Amino acid sequence: MKVSQRLLRFISPDTPRELKLKAATRALEEAVDSNDEVTVLFVLGFDKDPEVAGAAKRSFDDLPAALLLEALDRKLDPLVIKSIISNHRDDEAVLVFAALNEGTDDETLKSLAETGPEEIIALIEEDRDWLRRKPFLADSIRKNPLAPPSLLKAIDDPEARPRRPGPAARDEEKLNVPKELVDDRNLDEKNIYKMLQNMSMGQKIKLALSGNKSAREVLIKDANKIISISVLKNPRITEEEVLRLTSSKGTPEDLLRQVAKNKEWVKNYNVKLGMATNPKTPLAISVKLLDNLFEKDLTKIAKSKNIPSVLASTARRKLEVKAKK
């Protein structure tokens, strides 16, 4: 693999062992760009010194998702990208950013199109030129159960493609998002809406997956469910935001389903309670959550008139069973 000259001082055979260990344990005294750090850790993972290699592999495996998104927003070596995907197969935000990285090889891209999340399919649907540049993607998309009929039709019928193509998915400039919407800073909602008006679907998806709190608060309300659901896949989203979402009676069912998929969030008792008492939560999910609620909350649910009657009656039955024990 090709490595930038500026990184050789951390990874070459002549690099002092002490410096290698500092790089491998993420203890360098100087600031290093995220994409450079990821590359250095990957290479040092194959170092001849077992201590250096072991430390680098552990650091690489433990890299936070937010840092990986930042790194994947710039070109990386195909081998590095494959390794990141291997470690984060269940992180849909990482998979989307990997698909958009210009360093991703065709083999990896083919796999992502075949098995990847809705966001990848949506990006390909917006940019039909991507299919022309990468014709092998057609077969992969046909195998993806998330591919919509409109896209499948476009694959087989060139006339079905829109006359005005979307932004090129691999064009870095067209997929850039304003830094102020990613950096940790508070922004006025009106200004965010103005910026969003000129953004493509691809930019909005990227922003939903990596944006700051101000951006997330706006995009979670987006009418396009792919964009709003993407916000919940943002590694920077907090439990406080999720709790506010589950407690709101205006939260769409799709978002509540997505919350229910996250085992870490559902461990939070207040999130569970918010989901169980939200009338928009699918009944199959809310009924299951009753098993984990305190008796005092079950009692409130059993008497509530603001939830489905089936849920209230189920809560009453559970209370009756508890009373007999």
Three-state SS for the chain is: CCCCHHHHHHHCCCCCHHHHHHHHCCCCCCCCCHHHHHHHHHHHCCCCCHHHHHHHHHHHHCCCHHHHHHHHCCCCCHHHHHHHHHHCCCCHHHHHHHHHCCCCCHHHHHHHHHHCCHHHHHHHHHCCHHHHHCCCHHHHHHHCCCCCHHHHHHHHCHHHCCCCCCCCCCCHHHHCCCHHHCCCCCCCHHHHHHHHHCCCHHHHHHHHHHCCHHHHHHHCCCCCHHHHHHHCCCCCCCHHHHHHHHHCCCCCHHHHHHHHHCHHHHCCHHHHHHHHHCCCCCHHHHHHHHHHCCHHHHHHHHHCCCCCHHHHHHHHHHHHHHHHC
The confidence band for 174, taking pLDDT boundaries of 50, 70 and 90, is low
The confidence band for 131, taking pLDDT boundaries of 50, 70 and 90, is confident
* Per-residue confidence (pLDDT) for residue 159, from 0 to 100: 58
Give the pTM. 0.87
Length of the chain: 325
- The predicted-structure confidence for 202-214, as pLDDT tens digits, reads as follows 999 999 999 999 9
Q: Which sequence spans correspond to the domains of the chain?
A: 5-68, 105-160, 173-234, 251-325
- The predicted-structure confidence for 45-79, as pLDDT tens digits, reads as follows 999 999 999 999 999 999 999 999 999 999 999 99
Distance between CA atoms of residues 55 and 51, nearest Å: 6
* Per-residue confidence (pLDDT) for residue 188, from 0 to 100: 86
The token pair that represents 184 in the structure block: 């940790």
Pick from 84, 105, 117: which is nearest to 209 by CA? 117
Q: How far apart are the first and last CA of the chain?
A: 66
* Per-residue confidence (pLDDT) for residue 128, from 0 to 100: 77
Distance between CA atoms of residues 281 and 320, nearest Å: 24
| 310 or 153, higher pLDDT | 310
- The predicted-structure confidence for 258-283, as pLDDT tens digits, reads as follows 999 999 999 999 999 999 999 999 99
Has residue 17 got a pLDDT over 60? yes
Distance between CA atoms of residues 115 and 113, nearest Å: 6
Q: How much of the chain, in percent, has pLDDT values that exceed 70?
A: 94
- The predicted-structure confidence for 81-119, as pLDDT tens digits, reads as follows 999 999 999 999 999 999 999 999 999 999 999 998 999
Answer yes or no: are the C-beta atoms of 313 and 285 closer than 8 Å.
no
Distance between CA atoms of residues 301 and 289, nearest Å: 12
Has residue 167 got a pLDDT over 60? no
Buried b (16+ CB within 10 A) or exposed e, 104-138: beeebbbbbbbebbbbbbbbbbbbbbbbeebeebb
Q: How much of the chain, in percent, has pLDDT values that exceed 90?
A: 76
Has residue 8 got a pLDDT over 80? yes
The confidence band for 173, taking pLDDT boundaries of 50, 70 and 90, is low
Distance between CA atoms of residues 77 and 3, nearest Å: 8
- The predicted-structure confidence for 132-160, as pLDDT tens digits, reads as follows 889 899 999 999 999 988 888 878 775 55
The confidence band for 169, taking pLDDT boundaries of 50, 70 and 90, is very low
- The predicted-structure confidence for 206-252, as pLDDT tens digits, reads as follows 999 999 999 999 999 999 999 999 999 999 999 999 999 999 999 99
Mean pLDDT value across residues 296-318: 93
